[in-house]
Amino acid sequence: MGRMVIACYRPQPGQQAALADCVRDHLPLLRRLGLATARPALLLRAADGTLLEIFEWVSEAAVERAHHDPQVAALWERFAAACDLVPMADVPGSGEVFAHFDPADD
């Protein structure tokens, strides 16, 4: 059984395009490496510009394998230069009973 995740990326000032490039490359890489499922992902935007990427790892072991893969590490370095990873609780709107976000992939 897969493992669903919500990753929250708050762009650094002026890094929205670089972050969009990272997100565009993220799931294709994870899928090519057999780490993420083909389940359709969601990409949402919070009011402050934070992107929420919702996708499925193939397993908990895949998460661990990702942390030791040099291709994934290189992409995560790009993410680190473009954004801050933030807890879901710090994303505006996430504390609402019915949290609303805008689609970010259209």
Task: Read off the pLDDT of each residue in 63-68 and give the average, rounded to a whole number.
Answer: 96
Per-residue pLDDT band at 105 (split at 50, 70, 90): confident
Class of the CATH domain delimited by 3-89: alpha beta
Per residue in 41-54, pLDDT (tens digit) is: 999 999 999 999 99
Asked if the model's pLDDT at residue 73 lies above 90, the reply is yes
* DSSP assignment of 22-74: HHHHHHHHHHHTT-B-SSPPEEEE-TTS-EEEEEEES-HHHHHHHTT-HHHHH
**Per-residue pLDDT band at 106 (split at 50, 70, 90):** low
